[in-house]
């Protein structure tokens, strides 16, 4: 069984591009400047202890105090982030985006906020508007098949020079 992040890892490997997979606190020690990070917010199948699957594990994540949560919050405050495989049905992400948006809006530095993005396999005007209101720019596929849309998007992304959108 594969999910989005597994396909991202395979894509990086096929392109010969270096990346760091982050699914637990130990992985945080492997971060290198300039190397892409694939953060597995809900865990990795290669690390059973990292998997967020049950209702209880989702509720535990709402504390946002695990090392992965703290890293994600820091990344969202200081870097451009691309979400792939998430939607507004994920209460953890919705809540975190809401809290971070409120922090930015209440500060006098909201103009310095880095742009973040989400890939949506299908248009969803409601989701797009909510995400936009939280500072997340939607990249919407125009393909009828979500798999083809994601593949096309990742291919276009892989051809972009680093630091360009």
Question: What is the band of 1 on the pLDDT scale with cuts at 50, 70, 90?
Answer: very low
Q: Is the pLDDT of residue 87 over 70?
A: no
* CA dist., res. 84 & res. 118, Å (int): 6
pLDDT (tens digit per residue) in 5-56: 777 888 888 888 899 999 888 999 999 998 988 888 777 878 777 777 777 7
DSSP 44-107: BTTBGGG---SHHHHHHHTT--SHHHHHHHHHHHHS--EEES--TT-HHHHHHHHHHHHHHHHS
Give the residue extent of every domain in the chain: 4-158
Q: How far apart are the first and last CA of the chain?
A: 30
- Spatial contact of 121 and 87, defined as CB atoms under 8 Å apart: no
Name the CA radius of gyration of the chain, rounded: 16
Q: Which of 51-60, 70-79, 88-97, 134-143 has the highest average model confidence (pLDDT)?
A: 134-143
Query: 3-state class of 116 per DSSP?
Result: strand
pLDDT score recorded for residue 53: 73
């Amino acid at each position: 069984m594969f999910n989005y992040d597994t396909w991202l890892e395979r894509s990086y490997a096929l392109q010969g591009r270096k990346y760091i997979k982050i699914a637990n606190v130990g992985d945080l020690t492997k971060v290198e400047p300039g190397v892409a990070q694939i953060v597995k917010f809900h865990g990795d199948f290669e690390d059973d202890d990292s998997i967020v699957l049950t209702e209880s594990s989702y509720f535990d994540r709402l504390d946002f105090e695990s090392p992965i949560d703290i890293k994600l919050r820091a990344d969202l405050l200081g870097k451009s982030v691309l979400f792939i495989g998430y939607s507004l049905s994920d209460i953890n992400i919705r809540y975190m985006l809401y809290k971070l948006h409120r922090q930015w809006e209440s500060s006098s530095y909201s103009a310095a906020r880095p742009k973040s993005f989400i890939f949506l396999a299908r248009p969803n005007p409601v989701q797009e508007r909510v995400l936009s209101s939280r500072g997340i720019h939607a990249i919407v596929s125009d393909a009828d098949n979500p798999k083809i849309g994601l593949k096309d998007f990742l291919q276009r992304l892989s051809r972009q020079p680093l630091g360009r959108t």
